[in-house]
A and B are shown apart, each in its own frame.
Chain A
Amino acid sequence: MVRIITVYGGMLLEAMGRTLILALLGLFFACIIGLFFGILSVVKSRICNVIAQIFVDIIRGVPMIVLAFFIYFGIPYLLNTIIGGHNMTLTALQAGTACLALNCGAYMSEIIRAGIQSVDIGQMEAARSLGLPYGVSMRKVVLPQAIRTMIPSIINQFIITLKDTSILSVIGFPELVNTAKNVQANTFMSFQTWAIVGVMYLFVITILSRNAKMVERKLNVGR
């Protein structure tokens, strides 16, 4: 145990760093995707609603590991076939980010849709009746109220996404699980290696959810 920490500790910490970077990148784009499809699913247009629903259904219906393989191997293959070259590839970071962003984005869009719909329709109507355009009413009146109810679900989703980065070891991104596999292969100390990795995840996620509780409490001030 001590040997793993002294010899491989730095390596595992670096891998945790890459895990966090991947998660943050994925979450960043997931927020954009989620907001986009979330709004698409509440606007007064049948076509927009259906498009958003199809996106969510597809992502929900496909295991993330399949999505990862599809993006990492499938998309470059398709593009190379169409364009007729061999040199188009995605890095594991690019594919991993896209995969997380799409996956988390779909769930975020559902959270955002539910959040917006939980705000009384009268809030939007009152804003519109004053002459405010839809976008401004959404941004200044509806979304600020929706976010309060969304915060717990969003944080929950963030934690799931952070854990989901481990799935991306299958496309070779050197995040924590992938790195730990190498440590295990070098040391043959499976129990110790995976115990340490488990504690590392636990540590980061606990800090995250503690901070989240604080944010939640702050947002509830003045309610």
Chain B
Amino acid sequence: MSDGKEIKISVKNLKKSIGDLDVLKDISIDVSEGEVVVVIGPSGSGKSTFLRCLNRLEEVDSGSIIVNGIDITSKETDINKVRENIGMVFQHFNLFNNLNVMDNMTLAPVELKKCSVAEAKERAERMLEKVGLSEKQEAFPSQLSGGQKQRVAIARALCMQPDIMLFDEPTSALDPEMVGEVLNVMKNLASDGMTMVIVTHEMGFAREVAHRIVFLDGGYIIEEGTPGVLLLNPREKRTRDFLDKVL
């Protein structure tokens, strides 16, 4: 779906090994503005590794990753500047345990001089309202449920006003009754036009929200397509076998 829209992420021939394991063998993919891409695949297929390459939490071995026109694999790139525009949400939330919710959300904008303390607080309040947790400003992470933690984590990323959001199995560590509240926040984000790359096992969510689903296995993108095609009518046998197991 590159209907004349700007390309936000362009990955070409990405290779990445960890130890002597070739995790990503040859990955190429473009993500355009406002697109929601869901990445699926068996455990250990390199979904997290792929996502973490996109903001250089993992250094790639070869290939290029262009984000907003900047090659982030280049040594000259100031990766911190690029990361300001890429929000990331982790499976285990990773809220800063030593800070309360408000400080979690204002730390980066204030430290990086994105705005004044007052503006950061005001923005944090707006974001908290967006994820339905206005009353939790003073709470510490240990006082929140899993679902609340993840919603704060999303709001924290949004406080940097990123134009790309990466999600690595954001609901996998949650009790079933909390999955919905997090997915709802993500749905709203998608309909606001955020560019998103999401690793998830929530096929219902993928079908409803994704513009494109990418199936990763053995270090390659085996198949990609719209939810309708990929989930209901996959071309490859490996995709079918995987879907048989998870659907």
Contact = CB atoms under 8 A, between A and B. Distances in A.
Contacts of B156: 130
Interface string B21-60: 0000000000000000000000000000000000101000
Interface residues of A, number: 19
Contacts of A57: none
A214 to B, nearest CB: 20
Contacts of B80: 128, 131-133
Contact of B98 (A122, A129, A144): A144
A126 B95 CA distance: 8
A145 B94 contact: no
A222 B83 contact: no
Contacts of B99: 141
B14 to A, nearest CB: 19
A127 B96 contact: yes
B160 interface: yes
A131 B84 contact: yes
Nearest to A222: B140
A125 B142 CA distance: 19
B154 interface: no
A67 to B, nearest CB: 36
B142 A123 contact: no
A8 B29 CA distance: 83
Contacts of A129: 55, 57, 83, 86-88, 157
Contacts of A145: 97-98
B96 A125 contact: no
B78 to A, nearest CB: 10
B245 interface: no
Contact of A130 (B92, B97, B98, B160): B160
Interface in A93-141: 120, 122-123, 125-133, 136, 140-141
Contacts of B83: 128-131
Interface string A195-223: 00000000000000000000000000011
B158 to A, nearest CB: 11
Interface in B136-151: 140, 142
B109 to A, nearest CB: 9
A131 B160 contact: yes
A126 B111 contact: no
Identify the 9 closest CB pairs spanning chains A and B, nearest first: A126-B94, A131-B84, A130-B108, A122-B94, A129-B88, A131-B83, A144-B98, A131-B80, A145-B98
Interface of B: 55, 57, 80-84, 86-88, 90, 92, 94-99, 107-108, 111-112, 140, 142, 153, 156-157, 160
Interface of A: 120, 122-123, 125-133, 136, 140-141, 144-145, 222-223
12 contacts: A122-B94, A127-B107, A127-B108, A128-B83, A129-B57, A129-B86, A131-B82, A131-B84, A131-B108, A132-B108, A141-B96, A223-B142
Given A125-B94, A130-B83, A144-B98, 16 more contacts: A120-B94, A123-B97, A126-B88, A126-B90, A127-B96, A129-B55, A129-B57, A129-B88, A129-B157, A130-B156, A131-B84, A131-B112, A132-B108, A132-B112, A140-B96, A141-B98
